Chain A
Amino acid sequence: MKSSLSTNIGSLRLDQPTVLASGILGISLDVFKRLHNAGAGAVVTKSLSKEPWEGYPNPTIFSVKGGGWINAVGLSNPGAETFAKMIEPNDDVPIIVSLVGSIEDDFEYMMKKFEKCNVAAYELNLSCPHVAKVGLEIGDDIELVSKIIKRVKSVTDVPIIAKVGLGKSDYLKTVEAAVSSGVDAITAINTVRAMAIDVETQMPILSNKIGGLSGTPIKPIALRCVYEIASKFDIPIMGCGGISSWEDAVEFILAGASVVQFGSVMGDHWVETFSEINSGIQNYMERKGYATIGEMVGRAKRQ
């Protein structure tokens, strides 16, 4: 039996379940094409804002001794308008546009810039852990989350995905607000607030001092979140957080994710990651007798 890797996230159908996470390699259409050819089912762009942002000075990314990465890039991005112009010629790569903003007007304003583009879905970044007034501060404000989702659902037919993370309030409340406001899918989770101090210089290493932890150390946490969301809500999920092997990817699917996103693993394994994980998932499906990804989604919840 030949198993199919195609998967659905709401109305969006992807040929492969492996997706490039936001913030990773997300500023060039040529790079998106390369990743798609390398096996990415879709790519999520860097989070775009109304105006271009330079981000923080370096150091912005480094690895943690013992595993994982800490970053505080500071949402550097060329701005929605410039970015929209760059991807306008695209007609073959499924591009999920990630957006950050402070109020519902920001998101509507940016979506207008993408009217001429093929946008597979919008992922609203409600969970960046290292930039004030956007990201986690928004995700923690349940009422604002509802307002934003309701507004964007009223201005576009493109699927809306909310990316949640671990902020100060219960992330399940954020998910609940998003789901009841009509969101099409949830991405869980973002990086987790973290830092590292160099003992010789006795200084925080990141220029922003605090950033987000990604990579293998957060995988069990992200998996738990996907499992919890899948258990409580009937909503498609993109699992994200420390996925670095086909086995990790299958774990997330069994927990309830229809799609897996990854990024940090690229720092170690580079673009080959997509085809390696895809073929690992396919081998597993054939061994276990699954024809489709859908048959596996949430299997671990069945007891």
Chain B
Amino acid sequence: MEEQRDNNHPHICVIEKIVDETPTVRTLYFKDSILANVLPGQFAMIWIPGVNELPMSVMVSDVNDQAALTVRKRGESSSALYNLSPGKQIGVRGPYGNSFEIKDGKILLIGGGTGLVPLMRLIKFSNPSNHITVLMGSQTKNEVFFEETAKKLLQNNSHEIIPVTEDGSYGEKGYVTDVLETLLEKNSYDAIYTCGPELMMYKTVQMAQKNGIFVQASLERMMKCGVGICGSCCVNDDLACRDGTVFDGDHLSTKSEFGHSHRTKSGILEEI
């Protein structure tokens, strides 16, 4: 008897392959037909047995029915995930949340760090006739990743990929939002999509709105349940897990917490 999968119950997957993206970022590949096909902006809860469970965007793979997680080692839990070797097990539940509303025409993607993950998936779902500009932000040259991945995903689109480093050691120098400002002076876009550090998204939304461009951002918050029960991820009266993770710029600009505050594990609102 084939058992029906309960997407809200951890489903065990085995890590098959690991690719180092930078000295601190890795992509872990595993077979899972459900997560392999999630929509851009959706996320999954990833159980590292004995350690923690983390909300994560699902990275694309060019292998059918293969899903991936791109993780930066930072705290105890992300480092535990980062350090898993092939053959190790993780539990996955989801997918959760909504997804980007993908427009056609001239599209600009602006992301920083692992926030690029849902944007890579967005490219995969985007129409080949779209012109796509990708702004990828990082602090320094050896932290730039997904440039080759983006190139490969965009091989059938007219496109430009613009790496931006804060120290200027690679690509443009400064913050991605500085480069965005310059681009918006010269060009118009049909839609802007962003994911990454909240202040970057906040500035991006402001600039897009000032220029009358449709913009969506995928937000990150403390998450426990992923299904709209625990309330940990609220942004004013929205739940990032259930109403998001993707929100329209128009909607976000009415939310006092966007760009300003998030909640801690105990639920205390603190400044970002």
Binding site for B on A (CB under 8 A): 23-28, 30-31, 33-34, 46, 52-55, 57-65, 69, 71, 73, 76-79, 82, 86, 198, 200-201, 203, 205, 207, 263-264, 266-267, 270
Q: Which listed residue, B77, B224, B229, touches A267 by the CB 8 Å rule?
A: B229
Q: A201-B12, A201-B49, A201-B91 are in contact. List 10 more A-B contacts (CB 8 A).
A: A30-B237, A52-B264, A57-B51, A61-B227, A61-B229, A78-B266, A198-B49, A198-B91, A205-B10, A264-B229
Complex: A65 Cα to B12 Cα, angstroms = 14
**Chain A residues positioned under 8 Å from B237 (CB to CB):** 28, 30-31, 33-34
Q: Mark B83-101, 1 if CB is under 8 A from A, else 0.
A: 0000001010100000000
Q: Is the CB of B228 within 8 A of A62?
A: no
Complex: A64 Cα to B91 Cα, angstroms = 14
B50 within 8 A of A: yes
Q: Is the CB of B239 within 8 A of A31?
A: yes
Q: Which listed residue, A77, A86, A203, touches B49 by the CB 8 Å rule?
A: A203
Q: Is the CB of B52 within 8 A of A207?
A: yes
Interface residues in B255-272 (C-beta closer than 8 Å to A): 263-269
Q: Is the CB of B268 within 8 A of A52?
A: yes
Q: Is the CB of A63 within 8 A of B8?
A: yes
B2 within 8 A of A: no
Q: Which listed residue, A33, A65, A201, touches B89 by the CB 8 Å rule?
A: A201
Q: With A31-B234, A34-B237, A203-B49 as known contacts, state yes or no: A61 contacts B224, CB within 8 Å.
A: yes
**Chain A residues positioned under 8 Å from B161 (CB to CB):** none
Q: Is the CB of B231 within 8 A of A52?
A: no
Q: For residue A265, which residue of chain B has the nearest CB?
A: B229
B6 within 8 A of A: yes
Complex: A60 Cα to B89 Cα, angstroms = 19
Complex: A56 Cα to B54 Cα, angstroms = 13
Supply 18 A–B pairs (Cβ within 8 Å), ascending by A.
A26-B231, A27-B231, A27-B267, A57-B77, A59-B45, A61-B224, A64-B9, A73-B224, A76-B224, A77-B266, A79-B266, A79-B268, A86-B269, A198-B91, A205-B47, A205-B91, A207-B52, A266-B228
B220 within 8 A of A: no
Question: Which of A54, A55, A58, A200 is most buried by chain B, counting CB atoms within 10 A of its CB?
Answer: A58
Complex: A248 Cα to B45 Cα, angstroms = 31
Complex: A266 Cα to B10 Cα, angstroms = 19
Complex: A23 Cα to B229 Cα, angstroms = 8
Min distance, Cβ B9 to any Cβ of chain A, angstroms: 5
Q: Is the CB of A58 within 8 A of B267?
A: no
Complex: A58 Cα to B225 Cα, angstroms = 9
**Chain A residues positioned under 8 Å from B268 (CB to CB):** 52, 78-79, 82
Q: Is the CB of A52 within 8 A of B266?
A: yes
Complex: A201 Cα to B54 Cα, angstroms = 18
Q: Is the CB of A27 within 8 A of B232?
A: yes
Q: Is the CB of B236 within 8 A of A30?
A: yes
Q: With A46-B231, A203-B50 as known contacts, state yes or no: A62 contacts B9, CB within 8 Å.
A: yes
**Chain A residues positioned under 8 Å from B266 (CB to CB):** 52-55, 76-79
Min distance, Cβ B124 to any Cβ of chain A, angstroms: 28
Q: Is the CB of B6 within 8 A of A25?
A: no
**Chain B residues positioned under 8 Å from A267 (CB to CB):** 8, 225, 227-229
**Chain B residues positioned under 8 Å from A71 (CB to CB):** 225, 229
Question: Which of A62, A64, A203 is most buried by chain B, counting CB atoms within 10 A of its CB?
Answer: A62
Min distance, Cβ A110 to any Cβ of chain B, angstroms: 15
B199 within 8 A of A: no
Q: Is the CB of A62 within 8 A of B8?
A: yes
Q: Is the CB of B89 within 8 A of A24?
A: no
Q: With A60-B230, A201-B12, A201-B91 as known contacts, state yes or no: A25 contacts B239, CB within 8 Å.
A: yes
**Chain A residues positioned under 8 Å from B264 (CB to CB):** 52, 54, 78
**Chain B residues positioned under 8 Å from A73 (CB to CB):** 224, 230
Q: Which listed residue, B12, B89, B224, B239, touches A58 by the CB 8 Å rule?
A: B224
Question: Which of B6, B51, B91, B224 is most buried by chain A, counting CB atoms within 10 A of its CB?
Answer: B224
Q: Which listed residue, A54, A63, A78, touches B6 by the CB 8 Å rule?
A: A63
Q: For residue B55, which residue of chain A has the nearest CB?
A: A58
Min distance, Cβ A78 to any Cβ of chain B, angstroms: 4
B242 within 8 A of A: yes
B198 within 8 A of A: no
Min distance, Cβ A153 to any Cβ of chain B, angstroms: 29
Q: Is the CB of B225 within 8 A of A60?
A: yes
**Chain A residues positioned under 8 Å from B3 (CB to CB):** 65
**Chain B residues positioned under 8 Å from A33 (CB to CB):** 237
**Chain B residues positioned under 8 Å from A54 (CB to CB):** 264-266
**Chain A residues positioned under 8 Å from B91 (CB to CB):** 59, 198, 201, 205
Min distance, Cβ A98 to any Cβ of chain B, angstroms: 13
Complex: A263 Cα to B93 Cα, angstroms = 20
Complex: A28 Cα to B256 Cα, angstroms = 13
Min distance, Cβ A267 to any Cβ of chain B, angstroms: 4
Q: For residue A51, which residue of chain B has the nearest CB?
A: B266
Q: Is the CB of A46 within 8 A of B47?
A: no
